[in-house]
Amino acid sequence: MADWKYLNISRLGKQFERGPRVLADVTLAVERGAFLCVLGPSGCGKSTLVDLIAGFEQPTVGRISYDDRPIGGPGPDRVVIFQDISNALFPWLTALENVEFGLKTRIGSRAERRQIAREALLLVGLEQDHAKFPSELSGGMKQRAQIARALVMQPEILIMDEPFAALDAISRRNLQYELKRIWQATGKTVIFVTHDISEALILATDVAVLTAGPGATVKETFRLELPPETRPGDPPFVAASRRIEALIEPGATGGA
């Protein structure tokens, strides 16, 4: 049964000291196992919303909770993958060592840690590259390693802030379909910030569009109901894209 109260964001507002109000009265309810893509105009506060869900920032007003538990700060139940891949991995560790690094605080057995890390690398398609150092990995491979490192920690919610924005178009499209496959295999709840409408339509089960800032709020949320195997250019895909374009205010191309 769908649990629409799994992740609740209620009347959320955020204003930084000596700055404008970034978010105002943001309300969202996310189903367990959903893939929610958040879009909106440049500067509307998408990344601030990510920081609030992750617990890096605290709301000025309102409440964020999941599974009826308030989010009061960062925790292993929520893992964030950011856009910047240049400093994401430890350069002196191999891909396998990077993935198993976080497990050292949880699992004493090195053999068990290594087995879990290998399984994660297999899931993201990096099993043949486990001995490579970050300098030997492409941008897309580094993001795969980041995803594997996040998954071994068994988070409740995977939060991704424009993780593919710095990649070339081909790598980005390939990773979109890979991420969808990984999400289907793991059933994780994903919050994914993007400015790319096509990316959202490839990945999402649900879409939330924010209004322009300052004081952004949720303009509309809706469930995507595209037929299976719908591809960019297919009529249902084009219709959904136009719907989102109409919601995003003119001149908006991305940003935080």
Q: Where are the domains of the chain?
A: 1-77+165-256, 89-154
What pLDDT score was predicted for residue 53?
A: 95
pLDDT at residue number 250: 58
Strands 61-66, 78-81: pairing kind: unpaired
Instruction: Find residue 14's DSSP bridge partners.
Output: 23
Token representation of residue 141:
């491979």
Instruction: Return the percentage of the chain with pLDDT > 70, whole number.
Output: 95
Q: Which residue has the tokens 């609740």?
A: 8
Identify which of 169, 202, 231 has the alpha carbon closest to the alpha carbon of residue 35: 202
Q: What is the pLDDT confidence band of residue 213, given thresholds at 50, 70 and 90?
A: confident
Both structure tokens of 137: 């990995």
Of 250 and 227, the one with more pLDDT: 227
Give the CA count within 13 Å in the CB-facing half-sphere of 218: 18
- Architecture of domain 1-77+165-256 in this structure: 3-Layer(aba) Sandwich (3.40)
User: 77 phi and psi, to 5 degrees?
Assistant: -75, -15
Q: What is the pLDDT of residue 253?
A: 42
pLDDT in tens, 222-242: 999 888 888 999 999 999 999
pLDDT of residue 5: 58
206-210 and 35-39 strand pairing? parallel
CB atoms inside a 10 Å sphere around CB 83: 16
Q: What is the average pLDDT score of the chain? A: 89
pLDDT at 3 over 80: no
